[in-house]
Structure 1
């Protein structure tokens, strides 16, 4: 069993001639690996290449400048995250990666910004790279459109109207992360990872990875397979909100990273995390709960779910406070 490649040709707009066919392929992937590649996705290669260029520029800033823009200075976790600051697998060592997080440029008067909800608010930008903000925000806009289309295709795959999730995605919670992984240490033990085994928290993740590879995905049978980079393709995986929305029908599979194949060079990856808007209700969609049976997951809002995940990983006290204030 491997990770399927899905061609989005003819399915990039609502009502596209291949939308139903692609939706069925998504259903097959979602009920097994929860991972798939997408090709012919409409994002030009030079847009992705430019994003990798700015990722390298950001990560090559002096350490003191990165520390000055630490996510610790941002109530919504925007900015630089130091090497080893996150531990995605509680049974493993701290993750061997460093990252820069940014998001949409929400206006200060937006009610979610005013309330201080997670992901809504300003990003931190280094003065040394005045072009970084515009490049990142353009990429975010592109990924927003692609992610919404994936949500529409997922709706079709569940035999729901194509626009079923549109209202929930009006003001989405999104995070763009540019990550750098050092080479895997020689003689490292089995508890050492660039990113420990974990599932993503939100709805969909759209990943651009460099040519080195290193991402590994756990299949339903428990085996781990490499998500080998394929030129012109993104890797897409479903996050934990999708099993909640589909009553466990669709899967959010564990994955991990080990930078084993770069010849000592750092590995760069650019995941785009897409979640619905803060107050979107996450509960089993029609057709996923058998008559007379109770849903497998209690209903919640997207904000409650995301805050719970941040609190679990980072111990953020404000997560609970934000939820209670909502």
Structure 2
């Protein structure tokens, strides 16, 4: 078992009949989601020059003076958008703080939006650094492209579960979309077994779409317990399932652990750009009918997206907030 590569050409347009090409992709997704919980996608519709420019601007951002980055610390933002310094997160509670720095941004939600009024995390406005004006416009372009791909993948996942293509569409009203720019310093030569760029963890939302540079470093734990490298493939994105999907599929589809060690870069920093797609904060997460057979009880209690995420934020950050308090916009980090 490894991480499969799925060609999305011919399956990107929604609303078409269940053509052989679309259903072939749906079947490949089903097999990947029942196994690795990870897969690569190529011919995914996101312009490669848009991805390349996002990497260029990410590097420019991280090269700014520390004071310029700290000026937009995520702790200054009610929506927890902005810069997170090296060691600011510990994804594996049994390991050392993660060796990475990052920048969070996402959809801009107006102050009048009811979710902003209620204080839900990930709903609000962004912070942008001075001296790098293109980062805001480019990031919005990138978010729009990844959002379109994420919504299509959710439709293909529905087809893979023998559900109507639009089964999950109602959960997309006010989604939590988080773009995270990441830089990992070289892995220390003196590092012990508890040192990682990102410790072992699962993601918490629905799906993550990852663009990674050519260095690699992402490792995926297969159901067999084996760790395998998610080696970069030119032009392809890595997709993995978050914990929402096992809840929706009653455990049929997997959200598998992964971690990062920047050990292949020859002493250079590693950059990656994960895009986290999470449905509407108030959307209900209940096992879909095709995954609960007659006489079988659901493995997961019903909850809202927000209730699940708050539990994970508290676990990762050691927080004790209530369900509507402001916590980090997306603590998931994947590679």
Give the secondary structure class of the aligned counterpart of 2:291. Answer: coil
Q: CA deviation at 1:321?
A: 4.2
Structure 2 alignment gaps of length 5 or more: 327-335
**Superposed, which structure 2 residues align to 1:64-143 within 5 Å?**
64-143=67-146
Measured in 1, the distance between the counterparts of 2:5 and 2:266 equals 27
Q: CA deviation at 1:107?
A: 2.1
Q: CA deviation at 1:197?
A: 0.4
Alignment of 1:304 with 2:307, yes or no, is: yes
Q: CA deviation at 1:134?
A: 0.8
Measured in 1, the distance between the counterparts of 2:295 and 2:111 equals 47
Q: CA deviation at 1:303?
A: 1.1
Matched-pair contact (CA < 8 Å) for 2:123–2:176: yes
Give the secondary structure class of the aligned counterpart of 1:287. Answer: helix
Q: CA deviation at 1:257?
A: 0.2
Q: Residue 198 of structure 2 corresponds to which residue in structure 1?
A: 195
Q: Residue 24 of structure 2 corresponds to which residue in structure 1?
A: 21
Measured in 1, the distance between the counterparts of 2:131 and 2:174 equals 30
**Superposed, which structure 2 residues align to 1:1-326 within 5 Å?**
1-14=1-14, 15=16, 17=19, 18-322=21-325
Q: Deviations over 1:70-117 (max 9, x none)?
A: 111123221000101100001111000000000111222211122221
Structure 1 outlier segments of 4+, above 6 Å: none
Structure 1 alignment gaps of length 5 or more: none
Matched-pair contact (CA < 8 Å) for 1:105–1:137: no
Measured in 2, the distance between the counterparts of 1:230 and 1:264 equals 21
Matched-pair contact (CA < 8 Å) for 1:88–1:313: yes
TM-score (norm 2): 0.94
Matched-pair contact (CA < 8 Å) for 1:310–1:319: no
Question: Over aligned residues, Cα RMSD in angstroms?
Answer: 1.2
Q: CA deviation at 1:240?
A: 0.4
Measured in 2, the distance between the counterparts of 1:107 and 1:74 equals 14
Q: CA deviation at 1:263?
A: 0.6
Measured in 2, the distance between the counterparts of 1:321 and 1:109 equals 16
Matched-pair contact (CA < 8 Å) for 2:68–2:130: no
Q: Would you say how many aligned residue pairs link Structure 1 and Structure 2? A: 323
